[in-house]
Amino acid sequence: MSAATAAVEGKIGKKLKKVLKKIVAEDANEQLAVADSLLGKVIKDKFNLTCVHNTAISELMRCIRTQTNNLITEVSERENTAMSLGLAHGLSRYKLKFSGDKIDTMIIQAVSLLDDLDKELNNYIMRCREWYGWHFPELGSVVQDHAAYVKTVKKLGMRTASITMDLSDVLPADLEQRVKDAAQISMGTEISDEDIRHITGLCDQIIEMQDYRSQLFEYLRNRMAAIAPNLTVLLGELVGARLISHAGSLMSLAKHPASTIQILGAEKALFRALKKKHDTPKYGLIYHAQLISQSSQKIKGKVSGVGVTARNS
């Protein structure tokens, strides 16, 4: 297992090093066929031994792997299969556990789920407003906040119940009175108890999704603060996470030049501008960062360039 992991990382294990020393001592002028060009480069640098890696060598290695049972007669085919399977599983676990490229996978998944939740919540809330609006259309204009609207609908039920209903735990006093006044003169249609039951069920789903979204955002904030603190301070948790997701990984984002990061998320607009020979976009996802969105229109482009240049400072 240790020899396999060393070979994957392009390093020379102890047993391989011992074999190579023997080869150098006996056949110093021979060429060595290697399956991995990275490992071949390390061997060449360390032992000054010429290594060959091409399609013919790859085909040779494939033939050797298929004929392993015939070449190693001391081990039965069943034992060889079991050892190969165990080595493959162990190597996969090692790569997943220690790969530096995987530390940002949780951020990418979390911000993608957060965006999906926002879309679903928006659809659900619009459906709730439209559905309950047939019964109490005036409520939508009185209560603008989505979360307060959903909680009001859930607690209110039939609009006729508003006269005796205490809404002080979901609405401020002035809005509560306006809701009660609007309910008495509402032009909405009458609906059944079964209709209300389904509407309040939808409200329960929305409230549950909003609570989970809050937990997910807190999780994303903690992850970003631990993995990309500079990016988080400069651009914020959401914008930073979206940039990482768009680039594919934190490592890929760090390798991008500032000019590329500045327009990440605006690729379609960039290619359209290049095709029609118009002005290219100055910013993409980074536009939503507080540092840039609150700047004056004249200096937004300059601020976005400075922001992405200072991301690793």
What is the residue-wise DSSP string for 132-164?
A: HHTT-THHHHH---HHHHHHHHHHH-SGGGGGT
32 Cα distance to chain centroid: 43
List, for residues 262-298, the tens digit of each pLDDT value.
Answer: 888 877 887 888 888 887 777 778 877 777 766 666 6
Query: Could you tell me the two tokens for 183?
Result: 């309910």
Q: What are the counts of helices (DSSP H) followed by strands (DSSP E) for the chain?
A: 18, 2
CA 149, CA 155: separation in Å to the nearest integer? 10
Rounded Cα gap, residues 154 and 131, in angstroms: 13
Average pLDDT of the chain, as a whole number:
82
Q: Is pLDDT at 68 greater than 80 in this prediction? A: no
128 vs 199: CA distance, rounded Å: 7
In the numeric block, the tokens 């996978």 are attached to 105
Confidence check: pLDDT of 313 > 50: no
- C-alpha 237/C-alpha 252 separation (Å) is 18
The pLDDT assigned to 217 comes to 95
Residue with tokens 């990309």: 228
Residue 218, pLDDT > 90, answer: yes
Tell me if 102 sits within 8 A of 96, measured CB to CB: yes
Task: Provide φ and ψ at 24, rounded to 5°.
Answer: -65, -40
pLDDT at 248: 87
- Cβ neighbors of 58 (< 8 A, separation 6 or more) are 35
Q: What angle do the packed helices 14-26 and 37-47 form, to 10 degrees? A: 60
Q: What is the pLDDT of residues 38-54, one digit of tens each?
A: 777 877 777 777 788 88
Q: Please report the sign of the dihedral spanned by the C-alpha atoms of residue 232, residue 234, residue 239, residue 245.
A: negative
pLDDT at 243 over 60: yes
Pairing of strands 32-33, 51-52: parallel
Q: CA–CA separation, 22 vs 54, rounded Å?
A: 24
Mean pLDDT of 146-175: 89
Residues 206 and 125: beta-carbon distance below 8 Å: yes
pLDDT of 123: 96
The one-letter code for the residue type at 30 is: E
What gap in Å lies between CA 123 and CA 127, rounded to an integer? Answer: 6
**Number of Cβ within a 10 Å radius of residue 52:** 12
Based on the number of CB atoms within 10 Å of its own CB, is 308 exposed (0-12), middle (13-18) or buried (19 or more)? buried
